[in-house]
Amino acid sequence: MSRPLLNKHIKPDDFLSFYWLKEELIIFLREYHLPTTGSKQDLTARISQFLTTGSISSRSKHSKKIVKVEMPKTFTRQSIVEAGWRCSQELRVFFEQEIGKHFHLDGVMRGLIYDGSGKTLNQVIQIWEEEWRKPKKEKTIAAQFEYNRHIREYFKTHPQAKLQEAIKDWKTKKKQRRN
């Protein structure tokens, strides 16, 4: 079966059997005047419920309330991470300037920022550097990062392959029904 169109007539099982970009999910939700906030997993669950029942339930007691916080225009090592901060481009630039070009936003760093840890950025940098110095072991890639998981697995089974080959395989795979 080729990938069906994402509309209100798709069967829930068919919807869940194929890969969808988050942007595609948001377009669907907007078309049917449904909430577009949340992770890709949240959006998928919302669409699945809509396709199954014709409606969605109101916010569950487990859903997070989104708090918008104005972040500082500039950062220093003494800046304190507050609740509601996000991993903005400005914050990424600050970390690259302080840590170096090898810096990347990993799960440790995102957790420290999103949780509003109350730590200074200097403490956050120290924690990140300690993690970076530890022997590298393969980290689990979260479920919503399907593309990244595919690329990793492709190179495990095709170690001599080029990135373009892995991407081509991904494009083919995402059009197919999942097992």
In sequence order, what DSSP letters do the residues of 43-68 get, joined into one string?
HHHHHHHHHHHSS-PPPPTTSPPP--
C-alpha closest to that of 91 among 107, 68, 115, 73: 73
Domain end, chosen from 66, 93, 121, is at 66
Same domain, 28 and 56: yes
Q: What is the C-alpha to C-alpha distance for residues 118 and 121, in angstroms, rounded to an integer? A: 9
Domain end, chosen from 66, 91, 116, is at 66
Determine contact, residues 41/25, Cβ cutoff 8 Å: no
pLDDT at residue 165 tops 90: yes
pLDDT at residue 61 tops 60: no
Same domain, 97 and 50: no
Same domain, 176 and 149: yes
Same domain, 2 and 56: yes
3-class state of residue 120 by DSSP: strand
Q: How confident is the model at residue 59 (pLDDT cuts 50, 70, 90)?
A: low
Q: What's the gap between Cα 95 and its chain centre?
A: 20
Q: How confident is the model at residue 62 (pLDDT cuts 50, 70, 90)?
A: very low
Q: How confident is the model at residue 26 (pLDDT cuts 50, 70, 90)?
A: very high
List the domain range (segments joined by +) for residue 163. Answer: 141-179
Same domain, 114 and 147: no
Domain end, chosen from 66, 92, 123, is at 66
Same domain, 134 and 145: no
Q: What is the C-alpha to C-alpha distance for residues 119 and 96, in angstroms, rounded to an integer? A: 18
Please give the tally of structural domains in the chain. Answer: 3
Give the CA diameter of the chain.
56
Q: What is the C-alpha to C-alpha distance for residues 129 and 33, in angstroms, rounded to an integer? A: 44
Full-prediction pTM beyond 0.95?
Answer: no
Same domain, 32 and 42: yes
Same domain, 123 and 166: no
